[in-house]
Structure formats: C-alpha cells, structure tokens
Amino acid sequence: MPVRHEYKLSLVEATSVADVRAPAGVLVRGVSPADTHGLADLILDAYRNTIDYEGEGLAEAVAEIERYFTRASMKPAIAQCSSALDFRDSMSCACLLECWARRNVPFVGFVICRAAHKHKGLGKFALQQSVEKLVRAGYSELRTLITKGNTASEALFTHAGFRRVD
C-alpha cells in the first residue's frame, strides 16, 4: 500500500478567490450522480501513467465514483462545494469534496484533470472554486491525503496554502 501524507488548509486564513475568473471557454458547475460515467472516464484519463494508477479499468473507476457519491451523500453540504470544469462540451477537470468521517472535516477526495489539460491551471482553478464555496459555507478547514512522491499534487496543494500534517 502506498504511503500517503495528510495535508491541511485553514479556511479561516485562506485568501478569498472570489475574483478568480474561469479560463476562457470553461464552464464551472457542480457535480451530481448523473456525472458518474463522465467522472469515471476523467479519473482514468487523469491517473493513467501516474504514481496513483493501479491498473484500474472503467468498471473499477465507475465503482470508485459511485462510492464517492455514497460517501458524499452523508454530508451533502460539503459535496455541494465540489466543482467540475467543462471545456468544449466535455468534463476537463473536477475537484471532488466529501466529509472525512474520522476527522469530521471537509476532505478533497480528488482533483482530476484530463491529461491533455494538465499544467494549464485547471486543477488549481477547480480547487480554488471548491475552497471558495467552503469558505462561504462557513467551514474552517480542509484536508487531503497525497501519495508520497506525487510531486504534482504536492505542488498544487502547497501552492494553494495546504501544509503537511506530521
């Protein structure tokens, strides 16, 4: 099993991102169970050939997204802060939030971007949109787990203000 490190963002100290605008041609929206297959396809495209890819196929990805929506249904106010970005009529990126039951805090389950759209700021933008929604909803912190060696995720989250919890 891969080693994962916990990261935390204080939303009380988070800088507002309300003035951040969507990249040209990008539609920002929430997610719903109707997006299950689109998110499953997105997660496969995003994870393939990365440290977090474990050989999953479409069936496993669909099952993972279905589990996400089941967990998210336990705290819908947090899940409603998730963000999806559509570009050219298809989902390009998403930030999926849920409640981390063990800590009873909002948790970033996934920030996923199509391989063709990585390194263009979409993941950062999706994360910022979700953070802004959590701030407006009155939450005080946000957590995530990052696989050791996933330097792209480490950079994304630390740039957004997350700090590793030891």
pLDDT digits over 96-113, tens only? 999 998 899 999 999 999
Of 96, 98, 94, which Cα lies nearest the Cα of 73?
98
pTM summary value: 0.92
Catalogue all structural domains in the chain, each as residue range(s) with its CATH number.
4-17+26-165 (3.40.630.30)
Of 87, 81, 8, 72, which Cα lies nearest the Cα of 36?
72
30-43, pLDDT tens digit by residue?
Answer: 999 999 999 999 99
Contacts of 6 (CB under 8 A, 6+ apart): 143, 144, 145, 164, 165
CB atoms within 10 A of CB 83: 23
Distance in angstroms (rounded) separating the CA atoms of residues 107 and 75? 11
Contacts of 155 (CB under 8 A, 6+ apart): none
